[in-house]
Each structure stands twice: as structure tokens, then as C-alpha cells.
């Protein structure tokens, strides 16, 4: 996920990604919150992608998933990196994406992706709705959709995209709600890699619900860098 941030939050996030050198993920872009999935979570997602063998994969605001895949794997599944952070703009599969302009995607991409993974950097319902709008534009008929967000959004995910929570919850080191087991994957298909609990979170405790102020400040329209 990528979102507006303070310098302190950026430095904190950077401490948790020393092994994610692909794509320069060991460096955090100043002014953005950037929190990556753990290696174990990325391996589960890779297994899901390999099993599905998509013709085209859309990674929406989850560059750690895109760069975890080898170049060969990215080519095989037609992966595209939909991202706000322009530092990857030179990558041939980069697509600039601003979640506050959800319909602003090239028409040539409409209906082209049979697997879509999204990790919105906000807990505002309006932003989740924006991602749903983009997904509907990009998704091919029968596309598999995998969405990552706070677990209290189960009704919203069901209403927006017909998604159900998975037993495996993602680990995002440095993000308290995920570390306490309050972040979930939602899918519209029977998952083979996300059907068992995440052992990394076996001792996770409950976290408080985020208040409206935190959600509003996590990612705002004034996020240009």
C-alpha cells in the first residue's frame, strides 16, 4: 500500500523491509506511507497467482506483490503495477494510478484483467468504493478479485464486489492493525493458498477500531509528491 505520510512513519516502515530489495522496496518514498507484506504473505499470494495462472494480473497499490514475482513470472501472468509512486514509472508494466480518480484508466485496459489484487492505503469507505470502481472497469468476465483491508469492512466488501473473508490474514510488519490480526484478505473465489490461518499471527491480539480522524489522515487527496 502507498499513502500520504509523515517522515516518522516513513522511517518506521523502512525498518521492516530490509530483505525486499527487488524494485527498491528497501527504500521508502518520502511523504508516503509504504508498508509491505511479509515474505511469508507474499509467498502465499505468489502461490495463489501461480495456481490461477492468469493471462493478465493487475496489482493495484501493492508493489510488493508485483516485485516479489520474478520477471519471468510477471511476463507469464501479464502483470501490471498500478501505482501512485512514480519512482517505478520506467518499468514497462507501470500504470500510474490515483485512487481519487478511479475511472482515470486507459480504455484499452478495460475488461482485460482476469486476476486483480488490491491493497488500498486508506480506511475511508469512499476510497474502497473508488477501488471497486476501478476493479469493475479493469476486470474481465469471471475475473478473480483479491482485496486487502481492515476486517470490519466485511459487509462493505460483500456489497461492493461480492467478496468473502479468507482464513489467512496478511502480515504487514509495521502496521499495527495487521500485526494484531485485524487485517483481512477478501476474495470472490475459493482460494487454495489462503484457506488456512497465518501462523505469523498466531499470537495476535485484538486492536482497537481506528477512529475517523486516523482514517481521514491516513491518505488524503493532497498526496502529490
| pLDDT for the residue numbered 216 | 40
- Rounded average pLDDT over 9-14: 37
Q: Is residue 33 part of a domain?
A: no
In the predicted model, is pLDDT for residue 162 greater than 70? Answer: yes
> d(Cα 117, Cα 138) in Å, to the nearest integer?
11
Q: Is residue 87 part of a domain?
A: yes
Q: Is residue 215 part of a domain?
A: no
Number of domains making up the chain: 1
Band of pLDDT at residue 177, cut at 50, 70 and 90: low
Helices (H), the chain: 7-14, 39-52, 63-68, 71-76, 125-138, 154-161, 176-179, 212-218
| pLDDT for the residue numbered 217 | 38
> d(Cα 32, Cα 154) in Å, to the nearest integer?
26
Exposed (0-12), middle (13-18) or buried (19+): which is 78, by Cβ within 10 Å? middle
Which CATH number fits the domain that encloses residue 45? 3.40.50.150
> d(Cα 185, Cα 41) in Å, to the nearest integer?
11
Q: Is residue 26 part of a domain?
A: no
Residue entry with cell 501462523: 199
Q: Is residue 225 part of a domain?
A: no
Tell which wins on pLDDT, 219 or 132. Answer: 132
Q: Is residue 18 part of a domain?
A: no
Q: Is residue 162 part of a domain?
A: yes
> Per the structure block, which three cell numbers stand in for 138?
479493469
Q: What is the pLDDT of residues 67-100, one digit of tens each?
A: 999 999 999 999 999 999 999 999 999 999 999 9
Query: In this predicted structure, which of 46-55, 178-187, 212-221 has the lowest mean pLDDT?
Result: 212-221
| pLDDT for the residue numbered 33 | 66
Q: What is the pLDDT of residues 32-64, one digit of tens each?
A: 767 788 899 999 999 999 999 999 999 999 999
Alpha-carbon torsion 11, 15, 18, 19, what sign? Answer: negative
What's phi and psi for 138, nearest 5 deg?
Answer: -85, -25
Q: Is residue 121 part of a domain?
A: yes
Q: Can you give the residue range of the structural domain that contains 55?
A: 38-201
Q: E strands within 13-122?
A: 32-34, 57-60, 79-83, 94-96, 113-118
| pLDDT for the residue numbered 218 | 40
Band of pLDDT at residue 197, cut at 50, 70 and 90: very high
Amino acid at each position: 500500500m502507498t499513502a500520504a505520510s509523515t517522515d516518522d512513519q516513513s522511517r518506521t516502515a523502512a525498518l521492516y523491509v530490509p530483505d525486499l530489495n527487488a524494485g527498491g522496496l528497501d527504500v521508502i518514498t518520502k511523504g508516503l506511507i509504504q508498508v509491505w507484506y511479509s515474505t511469508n504473505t507474499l509467498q502465499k499470494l505468489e502461490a495463489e497467482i501461480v495456481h490461477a495462472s492468469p493471462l493478465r494480473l493487475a496489482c493495484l497499490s501493492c508493489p510488493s506483490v508485483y516485485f516479489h514475482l520474478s520477471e519471468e513470472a510477471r511476463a507469464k501472468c501479464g502483470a501490471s503495477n498500478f501505482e501512485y509512486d512514480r519512482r517505478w514509472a520506467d518499468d514497462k508494466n507501470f500504470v500510474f494510478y490515483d485512487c481519487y480518480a478511479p475511472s482515470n484508466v486507459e480504455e484499452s485496459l478495460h475488461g482485460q484483467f482476469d486476476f486483480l489484487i488490491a491493497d488500498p492505503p486508506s480506511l475511508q469507505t469512499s476510497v474502497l468504493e473508488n477501488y471497486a470502481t476501478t476493479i469493475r472497469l479493469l476486470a474481465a468476465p469471471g475475473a478473480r478479485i483479491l482485496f486487502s483491508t481492515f476486517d470490519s469492512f466485511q459487509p462493505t466488501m460483500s456489497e461492493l464486489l461480492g467478496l468473502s473473508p479468507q482464513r489467512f490474514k496478511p502480515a504487514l510488519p509495521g502496521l499495527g492493525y495487521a500485526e494484531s490480526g485485524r487485517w483481512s484478505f477478501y476474495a470472490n473465489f475459493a482460494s487454495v493458498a489462503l484457506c488456512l490461518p497465518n501462523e505469523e499471527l498466531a499470537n495476535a491480539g485484538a486492536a482497537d477500531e481506528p477512529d475517523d480522524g486516523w482514517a481521514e489522515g491516513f491518505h488524503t487527496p493532497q498526496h502529490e509528491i
